[in-house]
Amino acid sequence: GDVSWLNALVAKMWPNLDRAIQKIVRDTITPLINESAPSMVSNIKFAEFSLGSNTPALGPIRVVETHNGLKIRLTFEFRSNNSIRLECTTMAGVIAL
């Protein structure tokens, strides 16, 4: 079925979703990475993190009846133009990845 309304909703929400994911990466994932890093590596941080401006494309959606009930199939395509840059400090100095 047509899910153009859902794609329009995702496009409208995308900047907010990108900021929310940036916050999760900064506040939750980065500390976990630093806690589990080897001692020769420190101050690991995402100097840049964005999923980009391209939004995922959803659809079509199909509902299939099975012997256990209904199965919903939704196609998902995401051609990201993300910008992710990781930096860390090592004995050799600051390294950007």
Q: Judge contact between 86 and 53, C-beta under 8 A.
A: no
63-90: per-residue pLDDT in tens?
999 999 999 998 999 999 999 999 998 8
Spatial separation of the C-alpha atoms in residues 61 and 27, rounded to whole Å: 35
What's the CA gap between 19 and 51, in Å, rounded? 9
pLDDT of residue 18: 96
Do residues 54 and 62 lie in contact, with contact meaning Cβ atoms separated by under 8 Å?
no
Q: Cα torsion at 5, 10, 13, 18 (round to 10°)?
A: -170
Query: What is the rounded distance in angstroms from the CA atom of residue 97 to the CA atom of residue 84?
Result: 9
- Report pLDDT for 24: 97
Q: Could you tell me the pTM of the whole model?
A: 0.75
pLDDT at 39: 86
Amino acid letter for position 58:
L
Query: Cβ(46)–Cβ(84) under 8 Å?
Result: yes
What element of type H or E holds 90? strand 83-90
The residues of the chain scoring below 70 in pLDDT are none
